[in-house]
């Protein structure tokens, strides 16, 4: 759950205990991406051999040694130099903000969207801490917000402020968002999808094929509510569709066994798709700490067990 609303965006989405839990881990890539070899992150030191890449505007916390004073003399604005070894790896989180993500079975617990936003902030913190560039794309039926990947000092506060402004709305379009994002990214990188993955498996198959064909690596971080998996309902119940408004009255106890079997099939299909395309699949349940779910995901990725 996010911290008290009276705190700042970074403090709201990044719990100190969660950061301590993840402090010894890093997010590795499984295959070659532009300028990056699997399992090896770039050095945070800039040597004489570092090749200049581009300018960006100075942000509080940037090292003043890399201010371009010639650019300042011409424009009266502060710019810092970026080097190719600063941008060797780009990690973009694709965050699902559709209405289905607003579900919670426990009125006192977190929604899937709460958990997804906390996972997003923690992922960005891990990526930026290891010196790589983190970005964010938010989608429902289409990509609606984009924070361009960067690794400067203000990136994490900007990302957390964006998380604060978001509300779940609209229908889900995981596959459309994956396709749009893979087209928009200027270079190969790692895309982490944080979503309940409510989409047609065949569409997802096509989207993952397109993504990997363009050289991107990917992680599917599947956010589910415990009730979606366990289906604890036993009384006659009316189920309301959060995105399509469907109203389905049924005898919950009578369909429980069939529902659970279908949900297991759904998870199995997702795992198979991920395996077929060489991407990682991990589950984050809303009744578990997001930090613990992410910890397990990163450990399995580092050890090659997923």
Q: What is the per-residue pLDDT across 4-22, written as a single tens digit (0 to 9) for each?
A: 555 789 999 999 999 999 9
Give the C-alpha separation, 197 to 293, whole Å.
Answer: 17
- CA-CA distances (angstroms) from residue 151 to 14, 35, 64, 95, 122? 17, 16, 16, 19, 15
- For 258, how many CA atoms within 13 A lie in the half-sphere containing its CB? 6
Candidates 288, 169, 163; CA nearest to 221 is 288
Question: Which percentage of the chain shows pLDDT scores above 70?
Answer: 79
For residue 215, what are the CA distances in angstroms to 87, 188, 189, 211?
Answer: 17, 6, 8, 7
Count of alpha carbons within 13 angstroms of residue 161, beta-carbon side: 6
pTM confidence score: 0.80
Question: 87 or 186: which carries more pLDDT confidence?
Answer: 186
H/E run at residue 96: strand 90-96
How does pLDDT run across 251-276, given as a tens digit for each residue?
888 889 999 999 999 999 999 999 99
pLDDT surpassing 70 at residue 55? no
Least confident among 62-66, 102-106, 126-130, 228-232: 62-66
Identify the residue with better confidence: 35 or 116. 116
Q: Give the separation between CA 123 and CA 129, rounded to whole angstroms.
A: 10
47 has a pLDDT exceeding 80: no
In 115-273, the DSSP E strands lie at 133-139, 143-150, 190-195, 217-224, 236-240, 247-251
- How far apart CA 180 and CA 88 sit, in angstroms, is 22
pLDDT band at 116 (very low <50, low <70, confident <90, very high): very high
Task: Identify the structural domains of the chain with CATH numbers, from first to last.
Answer: 9-21+87-303 (3.40.50.410), 54-86 (no CATH)
- pLDDT band, very low/low/confident/very high, at 54 (cuts 50, 70, 90): low
SS3 percent helix, strand, coil of the chain, rounded to 5, is: 40, 20, 35
pLDDT tens-digit series, residues 76-110? 777 766 554 444 589 999 999 999 999 999 998 99
CA 173 to CA 278: how far, in whole Å? 22
Arithmetic mean of pLDDT, 115-137: 96
Which of 161, 168, 156 lies closest to 123 in space, CA to CA? 156
3-state secondary structure of 156: helix
Per-residue pLDDT band for 37 (boundaries 50, 70, 90) equals very low
Say which residue, 48 or 206, is predicted with more confidence: 206
Confidence of residue 28 (pLDDT cuts 50, 70, 90): confident
Average pLDDT over the chain, rounded to an integer: 84
Q: Are 175 and 203 in contact (CB under 8 A)?
A: yes
> How does DSSP classify residue 24?
T
């Amino acid at each position: 759950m996010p911290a008290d609303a009276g705190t700042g965006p970074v403090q709201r989405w990044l719990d100190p205990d969660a950061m301590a839990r993840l402090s010894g881990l890093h997010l590795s890539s499984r295959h070659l991406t532009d300028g990056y070899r699997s399992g090896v992150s770039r050095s945070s030191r800039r040597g004489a051999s570092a090749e200049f890449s581009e300018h960006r505007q100075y942000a509080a916390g940037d090292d003043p040694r890399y201010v371009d004073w010639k650019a300042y003399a011409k424009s009266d604005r502060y710019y810092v130099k970026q080097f190719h070894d600063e941008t060797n790896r780009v990690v973009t989180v694709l965050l699902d903000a559709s209405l289905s993500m607003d579900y919670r079975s426990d009125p006192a617990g977190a929604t899937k969207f709460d958990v997804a936003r906390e996972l997003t902030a923690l992922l960005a913190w891990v990526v930026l801490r290891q010196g790589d560039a983190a970005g964010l794309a938010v989608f429902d039926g289409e990509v609606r917000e984009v924070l361009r990947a960067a690794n400067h000092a203000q990136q994490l506060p900007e990302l957390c402020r964006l998380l604060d402004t978001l509300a779940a709305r609209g229908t889900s379009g995981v596959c459309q968002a994956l396709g749009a994002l893979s087209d928009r990214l200027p270079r190969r990188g790692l895309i982490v999808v944080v979503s309940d993955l409510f989409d047609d498996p065949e569409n997802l198959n096509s989207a993952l094929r397109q993504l990997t064909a363009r050289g991107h690596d990917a992680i599917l971080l599947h956010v589910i509510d415990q009730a979606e998996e366990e289906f604890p309902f036993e009384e006659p119940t009316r189920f309301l569709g959060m995105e399509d408004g469907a109203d389905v009255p049924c005898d919950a106890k009578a369909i429980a066994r069939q529902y659970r079997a279908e949900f297991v099939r759904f998870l199995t299909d997702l795992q198979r798709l991920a395996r077929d395309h060489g991407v990682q699949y991990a589950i984050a349940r809303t009744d578990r700490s997001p930090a613990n779910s992410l910890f397990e995901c990163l450990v399995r990725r580092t050890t090659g067990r997923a």
